[in-house]
Structure 1
Amino acid sequence: MIYNDAKQSFEITASTKRKITTGIQFSTQDIDTARLIFTLTKDREPLPLSAVSGKLVMFMADGSRFIKNVEIVDPVGGVAQYVLTSDEIKHYGTVNAELNLYYANNQALSVHKFSFNIDRALVDTDIAPIAEYYIDDFEALIAKVNELYDEAIATMEELRQKFSDLENIETKTGAQEKADAAEANAKAYTDVHANNKTIHITADERTTWNAKETTTGSQSKADKALGDAKAYTDTHANRTDNPHEVTKAQIGLANVEDIKQASFTDFQAHNYNQVRHISADERTAWNAKETTDGAQAKADKALTDAKAYTDTKVGQLTRTWTTIPLINGAVTDTTVPLRYRTKNGGDELQINGGFKSAFGTIIATGLPKVKYPTEFLVATVGTYGYLRMDYRVNGDLYLAGGTVNSETGISKISVNITIPLT
């Protein structure tokens, strides 16, 4: 491919955020060849771009706006590029642009604002471009539409509530009618209640009923009630079965264990039991029965067991290299063949060596399975560029491809990666 390149070097500092007016001038006839190349540095060192996605924002002279993904050409050397499309190059005039970087850890970085010019070629004097708006990140556009939809729904609900409140407003005439009806109902209820002889008594009836209880009868009832209460109290006081279910915690004994204590007789019998207990002389005699030869034999066995355990653990930490059988036309390097081994007790897998293969190919299968797939970059030997490989959960090793100056110029693809197995 042939490109009309415009190279820009941007140093990432807070003091260089001012807009840069460049001398870049493309033509409306630079169709799919107008390429912007950005070399990014920080503290005069290349800015790493391996975990970055870049966005180029362009405001065209006719009001069109484009937000596009840039291509990361060299993630180690801090190089990115963008080729204007055939639609974008038609919007002639001064273009105000800005390069932004978005990191995988949710950090974002505004690199520089700059401007360049698109000259209208003589053959394109009849061009009348229509204003366009294009956003590469369609998910962000969907989120914005959903946000506007939610706001519209909330506003409609608020208006509906207000109209509902208006419908419930009481007029003066309606309120008076309700008050008159309530007053009439209250008067009718009061009249009925006042004349109800079932629930009301007269003064004469009250006097007659009060006179029916004699002093003797009242005393008899009081004596009986006192006797019943005393009998119930005595019976309850003599109960020993914890009728109220009082717990240890309620009386401050939550930490006291329910342990049955031995009687003094049982304790004395245990104290003088010569079968269960030994004397000082017996202890001394038994301790002397361990011979020097017996002790040495035990020590030798312990040493042998410890050495075997240590050798086992060392073998688990770093196992020997195993050459990976390649498939689908992939060829291993003769000097350092593609190989693997487990590390750190079998928790990690290390892959090392070189090979050659066509892009978009499974080069090996049957390797140790992993919990999560891993995607990583590998280096090319013989030509400039970088490639991406995938280690899949089923143990397949896949060469996806990437960007290189010459695919046929690759003499070897070099791998050195450590992958977690769990």
Structure 2
Amino acid sequence: MSPLHQAALSAVQAGFESRFNHAPAGIWSAPGRVNLIGEHTDYNGGFVLPFAIDRRTVVALSTRTDRTVRVASSFGGEAVEMSLDELFPENFAGWSAYPLGVAWALGQFGADLTAMPGFEAYIDSDVPIGAGLSSSAAIESAVALALNDVWGLGLDRATLAKVGQLAENRAVGAPTGIMDQSASLLGQADSAVFLDCRSLEAEVIELGFDPAGLELLIIDTKVSHDHATGGYAARRTSCETGARLLGVPSLREVHVDDLPRAADVLDDETFRRVRHIVTENQRVLDTVRALRVLGPGTIGPLLDASHLSMRDDFEISVPQLDLAVTTARGAGAIGARMTGGGFGGSAIALVPRDLIPAVAVAVQAAFALDGYATPDTFVVRAAGGAAREA
């Protein structure tokens, strides 16, 4: 265990003891994720290729002898308290909607909440909030794993991913797919999760970044996004409209060869939304094939093409993301793209290890020149998924 990881566990235990005046029954953690490629394809039944990162949310938790639930965090101010009998989405607000939403969602997957004890939980995290690295799924996955253990539910990780997605959709109000929770729960070190979001079949794909001398640089633009607001939902609605007008259950059934017909059937905006999903699905498949056969040094053009599609067809980029991508490419990255739901957050750049400092400096200089807030730049590595720590 690294000193940094041990410090995080000590901090969350101290936070729990300070708030609740006793030691927790256990400590669980779950990582954020970065999506290497496959954006907005998940809720269209398509393909994604995320990986869990070495930034984690940690939760200390204990059951109670009554039916009271109390949740607190290092970032949320006072503890939020309610009874399990009040655990409904309309009663949730703010950050506590994530852990409380998970407890409620477990009840939709077979947990008899009328028979469960209450609990106390304290949450800490080093996953940046609003950066497109899925801090929300990290909370949901850590809490889901903890409650699955202490309530003795016996749910598998694929089901816990569905629990987290339901909490995100209904308790938080963000119409996201299942990718984020799947990556957080199923991730493995040095590998990505190739997920078919229609069948929910998942396959671990070795990335091979380290032997190739490559690192994945995160460029957090500091432009915060919120999936519960209109842009994300509007894109999802456009995709559903496109599928309906094309006479298919989802855009998963539309292939690149079908795009000429789609152009005749759809208005220009809906067509461009559909074209992004269709071509992005193909890019995920091409990336998996390249990683298996040719190595990670060959995927740069696919990352670049993904960004252009999100910028021009799906229209979810912002000037800071575009600047991060073009600057990173100009400074030596072999490929770069925005990652996450869009409208802010982070870009990723696949960079030769010895060029990381130069790319980071170039991006920060470009942001300063254009008058933007200084971005955070840091390397992430593929890490293991959610786990009990203590």
TM-score (norm 2): 0.18
Structure in which a larger fraction of residues adopt strand? 1
- Relative contact order higher in (CA < 8 Å, ≥ 6 apart): 2
Structure in which a larger fraction of residues adopt helix? 2
Computing the radius of gyration from Cα coordinates, the structure with the larger value is: 1
